[in-house]
Amino acid sequence: MDVFSDLIRGVRTHGSLFGSSTLSPPWALRFVDGAPLTLCTVLTGAGWIVPEHHPPEPLRARETIVVRGPAPFSFVDELGTQAEPIECGEHCATPERGGTRHRRGWSDHGAVATGGHGTTTLIVGACPLRGEISRQLLDALPVVLRVGAGGTGDAVLEHLAAEVAVDAPGQQAVLDRLLDWMLVCTLREWFDRPGGEPPAWWAAQRDPVVGEALRLLHAEPAAPWTVGALAERAGVSRSTLAKRFAELVGEPPLTYLTRWRMTLAADLLVERRTATVADIARAVGYSDPFGFSAAFKRVRGLNPSEFRRTAGTASPAAGRSAAARLHR
């Protein structure tokens, strides 16, 4: 399991907003749901993404922009538009409100449903991310990232355009999975862009030694790892692994492992409300709950019980995600 796959595994669009708008100018849509990530792509036409406290970004046909929440943002026909903003949130298509029943929602009355001359067709998908695992992915992203046309996401756009145009059973599930696919393609291209500064783990995954070590740590996070055991599995000496891992990842292998275990533990503490601290400790590779508690406080700033009390209401989806990483 590579790092990116592990971090994005819990990102699912089930229950997310997914709408298609066919708009003729002037228009102004204001997205107020506060989703952690919102993917915006234009099939035809063009417009502007206007985030709060961030410069506006043009969005042209076949381009994709991902906006990191929770601050609201707008999609407008042009900067300084005279259109009255329409808030997209309460009146947008969500499964609780009938799925994609507003498939052509957010259109003014003059819009041409088939996307005729002078219209823009926008697809928006909000991605609810839960838990500390997903937070690590968010922390690697800017407020706004863009990917131009002509990349691997173009194939997904063809499927999206075809699916939005029909009314068939299971459509919400298809649209959500296509959005998952589009998000992965978009993030891959953004991390790999020329001159970019991706997180250390992104480049490290491609190193034959460090990449293998990272895969092992993510595949078996509860295993009794030592640097020597990890080096043996990676096929290099202990000193070679320690040096290359620290150079590429920015910290020693076991320091990285401890932080990852505490990330998994943080989600498990919230999701497995009836589990004891000792249960959580064993799940992430600690036989001694006191040693686990000390490590957790050192990394997270709170002991496990304090973290659980302050973490709020549990999210079953995130709990299944964290548990799956330990039992796959």
**Does the pLDDT at position 91 exceed 70?**
no
Q: Which of the four pLDDT bands, split at 50, 70 and 90, describes residue 312? A: low
CA 45 to chain centre: 27
Quote the longest CA-to-CA distance of the chain: 69
Using one digit for the tens of pLDDT, what is the confidence trace for 120-151?
Answer: 888 888 887 778 998 889 999 999 999 999 88
For residues 46 and 120, the answer to whether their CB atoms sit within 8 Å is yes
Choose the weakest-confidence range: 18-32, 178-192, 215-229: 18-32
Q: Say what the pLDDT of residue 170 is.
A: 84
212: number of Cβ within 10 Å = 17
Q: Say what the pLDDT of residue 292 is.
A: 97
Which one-letter DSSP state was computed for residue 54? S
**Does the pLDDT at position 52 exceed 80?**
yes
Instruction: Decide if domain 203-327 falls under CATH 1.10.10.60.
Output: yes
What is the value of pTM for the model shown? 0.82
- Nearest Cα neighbor of 86 from 143, 39, 26, 128 is 26
Sequence spans of domains, the chain:
3-191, 203-327
Peptide bond connecting 95 to the previous residue in cis, omega within 30 degrees of 0: no
Q: Which of the four pLDDT bands, split at 50, 70 and 90, describes residue 108? A: very low
Using one digit for the tens of pLDDT, what is the confidence trace for 151-181?
Answer: 888 999 999 888 877 778 887 788 888 888 9
Instruction: Return the half-sphere exposure (C-beta side, CA atoms, 13 A cut-off) of residue 123.
Output: 25
**Does the pLDDT at position 107 exceed 70?**
no
Q: Say what the pLDDT of residue 296 is.
A: 97
**Does the pLDDT at position 284 exceed 80?**
yes
Using one digit for the tens of pLDDT, what is the confidence trace for 53-70?
Answer: 899 999 999 999 999 989
**Does the pLDDT at position 11 exceed 60?**
yes
Which CATH fold topology does 3-191 show? Jelly Rolls (2.60.120)
Tokens 């298809």 sit on residue: 174
**Does the pLDDT at position 28 exceed 60?**
yes
Structure tokens at 72: 């609201």
